[in-house]
Amino acid sequence: MADHLMATYNRLPVQFTKGEGIWLWDSEHRQYLDAISGIAVCGLGHAHPAVTQALCEQAATLVHTSNLYGITLQADLADRLCEISGMQRAFFCNSGAEANEAAIKIARLYGHGKDIACPAIIVMEQSFHGRTLATLTATGNRRIQAGFEPLVRGFIRVPYNDLDAIRTVASNNSDTVAVLVEPVQGEGGINVPDAGYLECIREICDANGWLMMLDEIQTGIGRTGQWFAWQHGSARPDVITLAKALGNGVPIGACLAHGAAAEVLQPGKHGTTFGGNPLACRAALAVLENITQEGLVVRAAELGQRMRSGFSAALGGQPGVTDIRGHGLMLGIELDRPCGELVGKALQCGLLINVTAERVVRLLPPLITTDKQADMIVAQVSDLIRDFLTG
Ligand SMILES: Cc1ncc(COP(=O)(O)O)c(C=O)c1O
């Protein structure tokens, strides 16, 4: 059926034709509960009426003009994002990888501004930042890099959640200009760092004149129970990258910046044809408005707590379950063995889940999930895991 598609994905044998809220329907009219939200994208669920209406109106009015001209909706979206994030300027693009490319370019320009000829960015083991050449180099996973050498220069890798490793780089590498880090590692296995990690990175960055750059592509837009995960603490970053949930499925990415980082990109230094077009910005504005109106940021925190407690009660003593962790609605259940086959088993039961880092069941349910649906996910996933471990 897909003879003319490049073989980039091992797709599951299902095609969805319709969605509503947390539910999807396949071409045979079977119903599925979506506990992965298109990988942290559809925070408002599928076919959210307000987003649908905004898209229809905008599609009937103006879809695209390019960045040769002013775009009022883009300026409005920048205002709103800066208001909720504590940042000062926004650059809009079309994906997470592109948002990180913008951040990497900002760090390099910032370094060159300090007469550093070969600026270096500290990145983490097990991180994921995208599939472009620079972002796959920044990514801490050899399998994603293999075959694409030569990789991009200018990255220094350290273990996640290891502040001494960052301090060691500070002592030994005067070309360092920035740290790029996920507040919670998503693809890497829902790895939650120790409390105070980001605050200490902030201190190290301040002491060395580095930019602190947070990849909030998976954690942002309410998923962890704050608009942005850094807001659980006090360490405001210099750069935040966003994508995924910002458009609830309409492709849009953003690189937000504060202070000196907000001033480095000047005309001619960066750009994109589609980035921040009226359609995408209208969708993102509708997303932010509805998350606000429906109180979904607080709700994500409550639901995450409810689901983690549920999993602890159901699986806490289960041999083979090595950890239950998460932050808001980013949930991970780590097993003592590879468990990729659970994804297919869940699909057969009408449930969409994901396994990352080989042995971590990852759940990223929509922020609109009800208590009852949350409890259903916990019960079903716990049963699947128990059967898998004992069967
Ligand atoms: C933390 C993080 N950064 C970057 C990306 C890349 O985003 P995209 O696939 O939109 O390029 C992802 C995607 O999973 C991600 O989770």
Strands of the 330-335 sheet, one edge to the other? 321-327, 330-335, 360-363, 354-356
Which residue's CA is the closest to the ligand 1 atom numbered 3? 129
Q: Using alpha carbons, select from 276, 275, 201 the residue that is nearest to residue 238.
A: 201
Instruction: Indicate the burial class of 372 (C-beta count within 10 angstroms; 0-12, 13-18, 19 or more).
Output: exposed
State whether the beta carbon of 97 lies less than 6 angstroms from ligand 1: yes
- Cβ–ligand 1 distance for 249 under 6 Å, the answer no
Largest Cα separation within the chain, whole Å, is 61
pLDDT, position 391: 84
| pLDDT attached to residue 143 | 97
CA dihedral of residues 139, 140, 144, 148 (deg, nearest 10): 70
Candidates 39, 42, 123, 128: which one to mutate for ligand 1, based on the most atoms within 8 Å of Cβ?
Answer: 128
Question: Torsion angle, CA of 279/285/286/287, rounded to 10 degrees?
Answer: 110
Chain position carrying tokens 């045979």: 28
Q: Tens digit of pLDDT for each residue in 349-376?
A: 999 999 999 999 999 999 999 999 999 9
The verdict on the CB of residue 243 being under 6 Å from ligand 1 is yes
Residues of the chain below pLDDT 50:
none
255 lines ligand 1 (CB under 6 A): no
C-alpha 174/C-alpha 130 separation (Å) is 27
Separation of CA 40 and ligand 1 centre (Å): 10
Query: What is the rounded distance in angstroms from the CA atom of residue 326 to the CA atom of residue 319?
Result: 20
Q: Say yes or no: CB of residue 187 within 6 Å of ligand 1.
A: yes
How far apart are the CA of 140 and the centre of ligand 1, in A? 13
176-181/253-257 β-pairing? unpaired
Task: State the closest ligand 1 atom to the C-alpha of 216, by its place in the atom list counted from 1.
Answer: 1
Residue 114 C-alpha from the chain's centroid: 31
Shortest-distance atom of ligand 1 to CA 243? 10
CB atoms within 10 A of CB 223: 31
Report how far ligand 1's centroid is from the alpha carbon of 217 (Å): 6
96 lines ligand 1 (CB under 6 A): yes
Q: Ligand 1 atom closest to Cα of 219?
A: 1
| Distance from the alpha carbon of residue 373 to the mean position of ligand 1, in angstroms | 27
Please tell me if the CB atom of residue 138 comes closer than 6 angstroms to any atom of ligand 1: no
Hey, which of 139, 190, 218 would you mutate to test ligand 1's pocket, going by the most ligand atoms within 8 Å of its Cβ? Answer: 218
Residue 251 CA: nearest ligand 1 atom is 10
Helix, strand counts (H, E) of the chain: 12, 15
186 pocket-lining for ligand 1 (C-beta < 6 Å): yes
What spacing in Å lies between the alpha carbon of 48 and ligand 1's midpoint?
A: 23
The per-residue pLDDT for 2 is: 75
Confirm or reject: Cβ of 95 under 6 Å from ligand 1: yes
Report, in angstroms and rounded to the nearest whole number, the Rg of the chain calculated over CA atoms: 21
Distance 125 CA to ligand 1 centre (A): 15
Using the Cα atoms of residue 210, residue 208, residue 188 and residue 194 in order, give the sign of their dihedral. Answer: negative
For residue 231 and ligand 1, the question of a CB distance below 6 A is answered with no
* Cα-to-centroid distance, 278 and ligand 1 (Å): 23
Nearest protein Cα to ligand 1, atom 16 = 218
Three-class SS string for 323-356? EEEEECCEEEEEECCCCCHHHHHHHHCCEECEEE
Q: How far is 225 from 327, CA to CA, in rounded Å?
A: 8
